Amino acid sequence: MKELRQTWRWFGPNDPVSLQDIKQTGAVGIVTALHHVPHGEVWSYEEIMERKALIESYGLTWDVVESVTIHEEIKTRTGNYQSWIEKYKESLSNLAKAGLRVITYNFMPVNDWTRTNLDYEMPDGSKALYFNWVDLAVFDIYILQRKNAAASYPANVVAEAETRHAAYTQEELDKIAGVVMFGIPGEKKITVEDMREKLSRYDNINADVLRSNLVYFLQQITPLCDELGLELAIHPDDPPIDILGLPRIVKNLEDVEFIINAVPNKSNGVCFCTGSFGANPNNDLPAMAKSLGSRVHFIHLRNTRRDAEGNFFEDDHLGGNTDMYAVMKELLKIQQDAPNQISFRPDHGHQMIDDLKKVTNPGYSCIGRLRGLAELRGLQLGILRSGL
């Protein structure tokens, strides 16, 4: 029976977790991007091949591109969006020429993944990523000072945010702001002023408009991807709910099915992220995987644990609210009929053991992900040996 392919996210030569380290984890493939290239600019064939050669010099392979970031003018369909699409297509062509096949991307406005605490302490002393609605409201209402921000939250959250804001020191407020705007490791950080300016571009963009802009973008690039043999994998919104007044359009099965049905080209698929989808209590992840089937082009495996208010922290990979056994079983069924080996990576992980003494990329320290990958590899082997 065919296994899912074990990969590891690497943020390039400046990543504290080196390619030599990754060789020891059990991963065989690398998931990475040219993070130094400004968003929207062309990835040259020469730079792609240089990065690929570096990875292969360690006996690993570059399996998945995560991600070719989409310029904000494409998302808003304003300004020079058509020229940005042409540049995106040029990058796709160069990636295909270099032998890359799976391209992950997201269509989240302004912010990428969003958390409010990067070192939430677990009972065992390890540290996890955490999302708390009250702290987000503190940032939104009192730091960002978005117009009518309080209307986006329930009255009890607004009241608690007022209490917390009064109690927080300036240092604590600065820390919350830095966490909410943290973004992708290795990429340029934005300021509160930057975020205000970026948010203003979405003043007249609701979910329907954003969805239409995504469909237009996919209509422009999927014929080329079909021709080149590329597989696109859209990453779900993280968290899968509207935040900071911004619409989210990749939250659940209905959203993904709309995207696939609107642009049915064979290259159009999904990155099945159990962490992002799992943060929504209404999502049935095993059923979602079964329904999406061959449209699953890449997989992120992580687990979250929610509370009654919708706050969540990153739990152990086999813990949390998601039944990872049931999800893995459905994904392995998909793999048996897939023409290519589908890559998965252990997404996020606790900062633990020696990594607690090191400077690490939040969510991407070595030992926590190593534990997650070991557990997931064992789960996969057990399912395959016992039969699907």
| pLDDT by position in tens, the chain (length 388) | 999 999 999 999 999 999 999 999 999 999 999 999 999 999 999 999 999 999 999 999 999 999 899 999 999 999 999 999 999 999 999 999 999 999 999 999 998 899 999 999 999 999 999 999 999 999 999 999 999 999 999 999 999 999 999 999 999 999 999 999 988 776 777 899 999 999 999 999 999 999 999 999 999 999 999 999 999 999 999 999 999 999 999 999 999 999 999 999 999 999 999 999 999 999 999 999 999 999 999 999 999 999 999 999 999 999 999 999 999 999 999 999 999 999 999 999 999 999 999 999 999 999 999 999 999 999 999 999 999 8
Residue 364 annotated as catalytic:
yes
Residue-range domain boundaries for the chain: 5-110+205-386, 117-196
The strand order across the sheet containing 127-131 reads 117-121, 127-131, 312-315, 303-306
Q: Catalytic: which of 88, 130, 142, 364?
A: 364
Residue 300 annotated as catalytic:
yes
Q: Catalytic: which of 225, 271, 273, 366?
A: 273
Q: What is the DSSP string of 156-190?
A: HHHHHHHHHHHHS-HHHHHHHHHHHT--STTS---
Alpha helix locations (H) across the chain? 19-22, 45-56, 72-76, 81-97, 133-138, 155-167, 170-180, 192-200, 207-228, 253-262, 274-278, 285-292, 324-337, 366-386
Q: Are 313 and 132 in contact (CB under 8 A)?
A: no
Residue 216 annotated as catalytic:
no
Q: Catalytic: which of 348, 350, 355, 366?
A: 348
Residue 184: the pLDDT is 78
CATH architecture of 5-110+205-386: Alpha-Beta Barrel (3.20)
Residue 241: the pLDDT is 92
Residue 347 annotated as catalytic:
yes
Q: Catalytic: which of 238, 315, 347, 355?
A: 347
Q: Catalytic: which of 71, 165, 235, 317?
A: 235
